[in-house]
């Protein structure tokens, strides 16, 4: 697998986790647990955005070993 394929897989997995967290943040669990899942949603949205940005950077032909600018 190359870096692009790896990132695509990780993004799919992260998005799946995000969707799960979103579901739990709206479920009938106690308020403390709901708050935890809401925080996890925020964190995971950030991670998905970072990963998606990195994939876009690589897809534009940039070297995968160079840092994001």
What the block records as the tokens of 55 is 């994939």
To which H or E segment does residue 5 belong? helix 3-25
The domain ranges of the chain are 13-46
Asked whether 55 and 7 are in contact (CB, 8 A), the reply is yes
What is the pLDDT confidence band of residue 67, given thresholds at 50, 70 and 90?
Answer: low
pTM: 0.81
What the block records as the tokens of 9 is 């897989």
What would the DSSP string read from start to end of 15-50?
A: HHHHHHHHHHHTSSS-HHHHHHHHHHHHHHHHHHHH
What is the pLDDT confidence band of residue 3, given thresholds at 50, 70 and 90?
Answer: confident
Q: What is the pLDDT of residues 5-54, one digit of tens each?
A: 999 999 999 999 999 999 999 998 899 999 999 999 999 999 999 999 99
Residue 1 has pLDDT above 90, yes or no: no
């Amino acid at each position: 697998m190359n870096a692009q394929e790896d990132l695509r897989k990780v993004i799919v997995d992260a998005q799946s986790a995000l969707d799960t967290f979103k579901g739990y943040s709206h479920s009938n669990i106690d308020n403390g647990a709901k708050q935890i899942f809401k925080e996890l949603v925020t964190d995971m949205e950030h991670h998905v955005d970072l990963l998606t940005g990195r994939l876009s950077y690589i897809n534009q032909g940039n070297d995968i070993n160079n840092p994001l600018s």
